[in-house]
């Protein structure tokens, strides 16, 4: 029989690796239906869009108003990226675009045609977790897990940008990613751990 500790750890790993939130099955509170199902009378003509996500090319037919976040979640079923506010204020939807962090709720899918998108689902290399995913698990850097995929994607960028030199610097450069559970101390510690790993790998 699985121990309660093991069960929790497995759940935490799922949140860090695929973005599965832990809160009562509420994977996407406030989510709106796909754009192409919202207003049949006023729907503009669909567009053919090519999205490159986690190394795979996807050809989609989308309402031109579809955000990148909705394209990922509703059309590609990559539900690790979360919709918190839908307004660019919480960071739960953060993904990498050509290696830079962006809030996917603020980008229209049709306008990122041809860009390389990386989501939480594409961060690990097979079974080998990204150092920041491993650090989040090690540091227990989340509670409900709803913000976690966005925190990890932003944290990866924060390290790559060279903005992880101190706890204060990390807090400043991660300020666009909110955690309503208040796991900030653990998140900062995880980013510091992953930054140290990255630095030692770069030094060889």
103 is a site residue for ligand FES (CB under 6 A): yes
How open is the CA angle 61-98-200, to the nearest 5 degrees? 145
Q: Which of 122, 119, 66 has the alpha carbon at shortest distance from 96?
A: 119
CB nearer to ligand FES: pick between 61 and 89:
89
75 is a site residue for ligand FES (CB under 6 A): no
Query: Cα separation of 174 and 184, whole Å?
Result: 10
CB nearer to ligand FES: pick between 71 and 179:
179
> Interface residues for ligand FES in 113-152 (CB under 6 A)?
142-148
- Interface size with ligand FES, residues (CB under 6 A): 23
Q: How far is CA 122 from the centre of its chain?
A: 10
86 is a site residue for ligand FES (CB under 6 A): yes
When binding is defined by CB under 6 A, the residue of 158, 183, 188, 195 that contacts ligand FES is: 183
CB nearer to ligand FES: pick between 46 and 138:
138
Phi, psi of 49 (to 5 degrees): -125, 135
When binding is defined by CB under 6 A, the residue of 179, 188, 189, 194 that contacts ligand FES is: 179
Provide the b/e sequence for 15-41 (b: ≥16 CB within 10 Å): bbbbbbbbeeeebbeebeeebbeeeee
Of the candidate spans 44-52, 57-65, 129-137, 175-183, the one that interacts with ligand FES by CB under 6 A turns out to be 175-183
CB nearer to ligand FES: pick between 13 and 46:
13
Q: Which of 57, 41, 38 has the alpha carbon at shortest distance from 49?
A: 57
When binding is defined by CB under 6 A, the residue of 73, 75, 83, 101 that contacts ligand FES is: 83
- What is the widest separation between alpha-carbon atoms in the chain? 60
């Amino acid at each position: 029989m699985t121990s309660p500790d093991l069960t929790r750890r497995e759940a935490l790993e799922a949140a860090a690796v695929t973005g599965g939130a832990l809160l009562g099955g509420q994977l996407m509170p406030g989510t709106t239906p796909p754009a192409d199902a919202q207003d049949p009378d006023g729907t503009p003509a669909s567009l053919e869009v090519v999205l490159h996500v986690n190394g795979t090319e996807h050809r989609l037919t989308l309402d031109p108003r579809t955000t990148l976040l909705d394209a990922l979640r509703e059309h590609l079923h990559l539900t690790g990226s979360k919709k918190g506010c839908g307004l660019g204020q919480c960071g739960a939807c953060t993904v990498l675009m050509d290696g830079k962090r962006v809030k996917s709720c603020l980008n229209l899918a049709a306008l990122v045609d041809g860009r390389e998108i990386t989501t939480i689902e594409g961060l690990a290399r097979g079974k080998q977790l990204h150092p920041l995913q491993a650090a989040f698990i090690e540091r227990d850097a989340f509670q409900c897990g709803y913000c976690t995929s966005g925190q990890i994607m932003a944290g990866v960028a924060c390290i790559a940008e060279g903005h992880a030199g101190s706890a204060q610097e990390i807090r400043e450069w991660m300020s666009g990613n909110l955690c309503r559970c208040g796991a900030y101390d653990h998140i900062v510690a995880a980013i510091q751990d992953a930054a140290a790993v990255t630095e030692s790998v770069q030094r060889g």
